[in-house]
A and B are shown apart, each in its own frame.
Chain A
Amino acid sequence: MTTGPTRAPSGSPPPPPADPGARLRHEGAGDYLAAWRERLAAFLDSDLVYSFLRSKLAVAAAIVTVLVVGAAFLAPLIAPHDPYDLKSLELIDSDKPPAWEDGGEARFPLGTDDQGRDILSTILYGTRSSILIGICSVALALAIGVSLGLWAGYAGGRADSIIMRIADVQLTFPAILTALLIDGVALAIFKNYRMEGGRFWILVLSIGLSYWVQYARTVRGVTLVERNKDYVAAARLIGIGPLRIMFQHILPNVLNPVLVIATINLALAIITEATLSFLGVGLPPTEPSLGTMIQIGNKYLFSGSWWMVAFPGLTLALLALAVNLLGDWLRDALNPKLR
């Protein structure tokens, strides 16, 4: 499926004007569609979907996740206010309680924060940032961890020792410490990156670098088993290079555990982002994430403005719980020993 439909030797004459390949390419595209439709049908018919529909908890978690994620990504469409538009903020609107409390206004269903920002809108936008950072950092951790794990497991010997010792060292640093370190280094290099939107990527880098070890260890373990199987020998026999063996032959066989870790790590990454933002090295107050909102609200908690902390906190807890439950279900569903 990966090699192209034609394998023309280099320096071959240009195709004749009639281009007999056009018909072939066209058929190839049709094949692709049919193949994907077939794959979808097979997926809907699979044990995984069956076990999902039978687990009420998993279905509930999926519904909550889809609702929260959907609302977050539709934020510009459904949010009553634009919390990033600082000009629209009125200090007179600040510290308003939720609409059902005394002094609340219908304009601000969940109240406002100390700058007069609508909490509901800020939560929607903030959740979007949190999820984006979560997904990007999980993708980064996945890419680093899977590549290094495959390399360590397949190459063995010295490469394996070096990669796994680096992983051990990485594991001794708590994620928060790694993130603070990277934030500090970034601050020293790009003096005012915090103002220039670089924070998003620094957060992704910090969280991604903190969580790659788990992927690397898992993938290495499975690769150690897979590389000695005869299908790998059959591929080596016909002269296929190590990179193609690792990524085309072995990788599909190590993806199940990786998928489970990625799901559970997504919740962890979102929480870590919130923690970092709470500590003040995350997203700035002008573009708050859930963690930033909790940090701001925390200051006003003892003056009775509980809504500034409670609603972002609840959203975070709900999202993390739902994603975690999904991950747990996936782990059990993909584990043949638990079936």
Chain B
Amino acid sequence: MSTAPLVEVKHLTRVFDVSKPWLNRLIEGEGRIHVQAVTDVSFTVGAGETLALVGESGSGKSTVARMVVGLLPPTSGTVVIAGVDMWAPAEAAERQKLRRRLQMIFQDPYASLNPRWRVDRIIADPIRAFGLAADRAEIEHRVGELLALVGLDPSDGRKYPHEFSGGQRQRICIARALSSNPEFLVCDEPTSALDVSVQAQILNLMRDLQDRMGLAYLLISHNLAVVRHMATRIGVMYLGRLVEVASPAALFAEPRHPYTRMLIDALPDLAMSGRPRKPIEGEIPNPISPPGGCAFHPRCPLAFAPCSAQVPPLREHGARSVACHAVEAGRI
């Protein structure tokens, strides 16, 4: 085996067509309208690692997640997982093998479980789809094991999803995701629909499972506290681009990109150190007509001439990567 990372995402781009129907365009004389949801995003996730993507609503985090798991075809760019290109027109069998190795945990545990299926059938679905068990007894046994693994009772399998609370449902989702023995889990805001008290339980369960099974996570979140607790590395996204990638320690101690600074300055200060807390200024621009150059420059306190002219590339600065003209020019 090579030492290539488990997941390698290169130059991922996704454009959505949000035009009106053809007849409307013809009569109203409007052209097509495109939204650049994700632009040129590249990252890697190693085995057992957690990469967290953070950003405001509309920054393209979830779109990245959907492209990585294979739910949404990218406009351009590649997703390579364990050496297999997710979107290459490969053999169906090869792709099915790849699908077993990655799974997803969804944001809303009320919509991600089929309300008409019993929990044991929901969890057994991936086992059946990949033919991982020889007979009914083995499936039953495996489902019981998985339920116990996520802290539920094996007899809960006979119930329907509506008989569970939000946190318990998210545990069921985790059990379903683990049922195909994946190596890589994409978690799209796994705790944002849960009570604060339950969030910690789910996050601890996820960490625990990672330690035991060597899982790699791609964690999508808008909650910096969650990300700090979980991540090996953090990627900050703004308007479809990665603007800074760093370890949590480095990112929180010394954020480089002005947008990252803005986010971290806005965090509530629980230590009451007396640090002034700055509210976030401005709003994320409309992705249909993004500002030219660096997309952040209209909100950036450090913007100067090249910012509105050129898109800054993501460059390595020591152990981190930043996409900012001001950082390159040594202004921060």
Contact = CB atoms under 8 A, between A and B. Distances in A.
Interface in A237-276: 237-240, 249, 252-253
A239 B114 contact: no
A252 B121 CA distance: 14
B146 to A, nearest CB: 15
A234 interface: yes
B157 to A, nearest CB: 12
Given A5-B135, A24-B137, A230-B111, A237 B69 contact: yes
B71 A24 contact: no
A339 to B, nearest CB: 15
Interface string A223-240: 000000111011111111
Interface string B228-241: 00000000000000
Contacts of B71: 233, 236-237
Nearest to B92: A239
A24 B69 contact: no
A1 B115 CA distance: 16
Contact of A253 (B115, B129, B130, B176): B115
B221 interface: no
Contacts of A197: none
A231 B126 contact: no
A172 interface: no
B111 A229 contact: yes
B95 A239 contact: yes
B136 interface: yes
A230 B111 CA distance: 6
Contact of A231 (B103, B112, B135, B137): B112
A238 B180 contact: yes
A229 B113 CA distance: 9
Nearest to B176: A234
Contacts of B113: 231
A86 to B, nearest CB: 52
Contacts of A21: 135
A230 B112 contact: yes
A130 B298 CA distance: 74
Contacts of B104: 233-234, 237
A233 B96 CA distance: 15
A26 to B, nearest CB: 12
B116 to A, nearest CB: 4
A7 B131 contact: yes
B128 A3 contact: yes
A234 B134 CA distance: 23
B114 A249 contact: yes
Contacts of B103: 237-238
Contacts of A3: 128
Contacts of B40: none
Interface in B244-297: none
B99 A238 contact: yes
Contact of B111 (A27, A231, A236, A237): A231
Chain B interface size, as a band, is: 35 or more
A76 interface: no
Contacts of A1: 121
B176 to A, nearest CB: 7
Contacts of B134: 6-7
Contacts of B73: none
Contact of B126 (A6, A7, A233, A238): A238
Nearest to A42: B160
Contacts of B173: 234
Nearest to A28: B136
B117 interface: yes
Nearest to A234: B112
B70 interface: yes
Contacts of A234: 104, 106, 112, 125, 173, 176
B72 to A, nearest CB: 10
A1 B140 CA distance: 11
B108 interface: yes
B107 interface: yes
B271 to A, nearest CB: 37
Q: Which of B96, B103, B129 has the most CB of A within 10 A?
A: B129
Contacts of A230: 106-108, 111-112
A231 B180 contact: no
B70 A237 contact: yes
Interface in B80-139: 95-96, 99-100, 103-104, 106-108, 111-117, 121-122, 125-126, 128-131, 133-137
A233 B106 contact: yes
B115 A238 contact: no
A158 to B, nearest CB: 12
A24 B71 CA distance: 37
Given A233-B71, A233-B104, A238 B111 contact: no
B129 A238 contact: yes
Nearest to B140: A31
Given A229-B111, A230-B107, A239 B99 contact: yes
Interface in A17-43: 21, 24, 27-28, 31
15 contacts: A6-B135, A7-B128, A31-B136, A229-B112, A230-B106, A233-B71, A234-B104, A234-B125, A234-B176, A236-B71, A237-B104, A238-B99, A239-B129, A240-B125, A249-B117
List of 7 A-B pairs having minimum Cβ-Cβ separation, nearest first: A230-B112, A252-B116, A230-B106, A229-B111, A231-B114, A238-B129, A5-B136
Given A21-B135, A239-B129, 18 more contacts: A1-B121, A7-B128, A24-B137, A229-B112, A230-B107, A230-B112, A233-B104, A234-B112, A237-B70, A238-B125, A238-B130, A239-B95, A239-B96, A239-B99, A240-B125, A240-B129, A249-B117, A253-B114
